[in-house]
Structure 1
């Protein structure tokens, strides 16, 4: 019994409105940004910022945005920004400038729970080609002539 109490006490708990307890793994995940990831994953972050084209993905939008409708522009945000339309993710370049390029969480998913618990199970570690196909799908490969590369200089 004491062991169970100690384990329960070690679990991060959030208290929600109305006093109900909510364990951290049940809380909605949100995006935290590259700088947060870099605190523990310094070497990966350094390689990503030095070698990956993804780190400058918003430049493509800036080059084309004058010829796009607002709806077309929002379609670009889904693959050229981090967490567009999601809690903590990209909103616009003025209010969320640190999320305007692709970042760690674009491939590995929102990091808030992983940051809170430091549990590798709370972030997507090993990526597959299926993860890349969220953006690098057949339609976009034909339209933009790009290819998915696992890691692509990221780390």
Structure 2
């Protein structure tokens, strides 16, 4: 069996393999490339509720982030497309990122600044049954500054709070 693998591997390496599916042979010899990692994906805050009911309830009730799209919807008719994109960057989840917020119609589950704004895309964490290594658990104030920059704090008089009512 080992000789067979070596022969197939040699044929593949030299380009002499005329098999219609050399990648299948490569898989059989163990030489296939590992499957590409899936890009991080967002799931929305409701996906967190089942395992993190207390945090989800507190976030939904007390955090302004949980309702952040409301102010965007109120202001949207008065904003240019560029200004609106600036609002989406901080008031939604994952805007401009693969699998993030696209529009209120297409991705309503990501319309607010949800759990994944602070903890990162949660699909891998959810799919694993809650592996804590697959989600950001240690947060720092410096991470808040993506949205709560000095300029925005001056403009909107809204200072960041590390847990913002969520925990």
- CA–CA separation in structure 1 for the residues paired with 2:127 and 2:98: 16
TM-score, length basis structure 1: 0.81
User: After superposition, what is the alpha-carbon deviation per residue over 1:25-77, rounded to whole angstroms, capped at 9, x for unaligned?
Assistant: x3211101111111211111111101111111011112211221001100110
After superposition, residues 38-117 of structure 1 pair within 5 angstroms as 38-117=49-128
Correspondent of 1:22 among 32, 35, 47? 35
Query: Out of 137, 148, 151, which is 1:125 matched to?
Result: 137
TM-superposed CA distance for 1:22, in Å, is 2.7
Give the TM-score normalised by the residue count of structure 2: 0.76
- State the alpha-carbon separation in 1 of the partners of residues 115 and 138 from structure 2: 13
User: What residue in structure 2 maps to residue 9 of structure 1?
Assistant: none
Q: Using the TM superposition, give the Cα deviation of residue 95 of structure 1 relative to its aligned residue in structure 2, in angstroms.
A: 1.1
Counterpart secondary structure, 2:35: strand
What's 2:153 paired with?
141
Match of 2:162 in 1: 150
| Structure 1 residue ranges (4+ consecutive) displaced by more than 6 angstroms after TM superposition | none
Larger Rg over CA atoms? 2
Q: Tell me, which stretches of 5 or more residues in structure 2 are unaligned?
A: 1-23, 28-32
**Cα RMSD after superposing both structures:** 1.7
Q: Distance in 2 between matches of 1:74 and 1:99?
A: 15
Give me the whole-angstrom Cα distance separating, in 1, the residues matched to 2:143 and 2:93: 15
Contact kept in structure 2, 1:31 and 1:88, CA below 8 Å: yes
Aligned length, in residue pairs: 136
